[in-house]
Amino acid sequence: MLNSAPTQERMWFIIKVPPYRPIPQIDLYGIDRANQNTETFTDDVKKQNPTLGDQFMKNQIHFAPLIICLLTLLTFNGTIRAKQTVKSQKQPNILFLFTDDQRFDTIHALGNPQIKTPHFDKLVQNGFTFNNTYCMGSWCGAVCLPSRTMVMTGRTLWRIPRRNEKVSAKFRATTLPAVLKRAGYVTYRTGKGGNTFKPANDEFDYNTSIDTRDPFSSKNHTERAMKFLRSHKGDVPFYIHMAFAKPHDPRVAPPEYMKMYDPNQILLPRNFLPQHPFDNGELRIRDEMLAPFPRSPEIMRQHIADYYACITYLDVQIGRILKTLEECGFAGNTIVVFSSDQGLAVGGQHGLMGKQNLYECNKPPLIFTGPGIPHGKSDALVYLHDLYPTFCELAGIVLPGFVEGESLWPIIKGKKAKIRNWIFGAYKDCQRMIRDRRWKLIKYNAEGVKNKQLFDLKNDPDEINNLAHQTKYAEHLDRLEKLLIEARRLAGDPDDFDRTSNGKKPQGQSGGT
């Protein structure tokens, strides 16, 4: 119910939102999403809006009636406020901890006995963990750029702006910080400045970027956020977006953390290979050139040790921000969400080092904790861009029709076991992936040289045994290949993935850095 009551200086619009039961209370877009199909790739998305800049104002999105009403009321009150304000005492604060290149298996409490992560462990022990979280993929080598753009827009890979693409004010108004601001949140961001969606970053009330990845960058981001928390009066809810630059390379931490992990004691991943078994279309990109070919166990162990050192130092900073949250009295009304833009294969998984692939090592962690969040876990298939609608639901915002993600709240609260039946992934024009609950297909086209892999993830979670050429699994292969065609169509995949060649020479299998 929407009520208004004039004060001496301004008009507040109050939303009554039940605590931690995020029922949509206010429609900031003029869209009745309740009557829309909420399957992945909704019907309105399938219509393929022609331009990103105009997408927000098309597809039944009409601000005019809302603006007219607001201007009329505010003018009558004697003061016209340029910024829409919504006051609510029960909207939860949201603290989003978003790291860079952190793989899902880099938390002690999630099954990695070699790494020290007591504060991440606490999140797992007190919260709800998603075991199968995916970035949909990338059209460039810097996978973090489209990943972070999808999080900020709630849209899929080919419906987001490319790097340096001009973005209209209408589109900016649909980004996550802009939407949360209109719902009454004060929005704060600190983090990396490069390979992020700058138009969304600019929509935060406060935005500070640090473009260095020195040993202390995680500490610097943390102390900025701590300063914000200590200055916040608590009169309005906050959304804090912490975009850490670690554990992305260079994998350096303060000396005491670099000494914490003895490379000789580090276990190699079960799917370690000296080199990838075939050309995946991206064997000589920057990330892969961080270690020589073929991969040696000794060098891979050192890379993993350095990776763990950065994560343990990051864990300490997470502990500091959580402690400040409690000291400031905000912990009782704050939902903490932890994830990363994607994982990576560092350590020679499948003979690789980077994130320019579609293996399971690219999955990031995803954990929710806070008041009303039950302890538990889910194997549901989810995307990072599902966070946009989840945050909107927590804030009591009706979802606009352009959002392609699905809220994770029904899974967290036990009302649903899943929100989709399959996950689709893509990397540039050379890799495509489809998986369901058990089976996974990856197809490759490296300048006309084609390969495919079929994995039984139930019995082979490390993707070691390729079943694509065994006739007894032909039924699963055929089913997934047909599903992949449909997934590409629904996603608006523009690439000619079945091409014979584009004239470039396939990448070799060996050679120095």
Question: What's the pTM?
Answer: 0.83
Question: What separation in angstroms does the CA of 9 have from each of 2, 6, 74, 80, 418?
Answer: 20, 8, 10, 10, 47
443 CB neighbour count, 10 Å cutoff: 21
Instruction: Give the chain's domains with CATH numbers.
Output: 93-420 (3.40.720.10), 424-491 (3.30.1120.10)
DSSP SS3 for 434: strand
Nearest-5° Cα angle at 140, 386 to 45: 40
Nearest-5° Cα angle at 246, 331 to 139: 110
Measure the CA–CA gap between 356 and 377, rounded to whole angstroms. Answer: 28
Question: What separation in angstroms does the CA of 64 have from each of 28, 173, 422?
Answer: 11, 14, 38
DSSP SS3 for 44: helix
Query: pLDDT tens, position by position, for the chain (513 residues)?
Result: 333 333 333 333 333 333 344 433 444 443 333 333 333 333 333 333 333 333 333 333 344 444 444 434 433 333 222 233 334 448 999 999 999 999 999 999 999 999 999 999 999 999 999 999 999 999 999 999 999 999 999 999 999 999 889 999 999 999 999 999 999 999 999 998 888 999 999 999 999 988 788 999 999 999 999 999 999 999 999 999 999 999 999 999 999 999 999 999 999 999 999 999 999 999 999 999 999 999 999 999 999 999 999 999 999 999 999 999 999 999 999 999 999 999 999 999 999 999 999 999 999 999 999 999 999 999 999 999 999 999 999 999 988 888 999 999 999 999 999 999 999 999 999 999 999 999 999 999 999 999 999 999 999 999 999 999 999 999 999 999 999 999 999 999 999 998 887 656 555 443 332
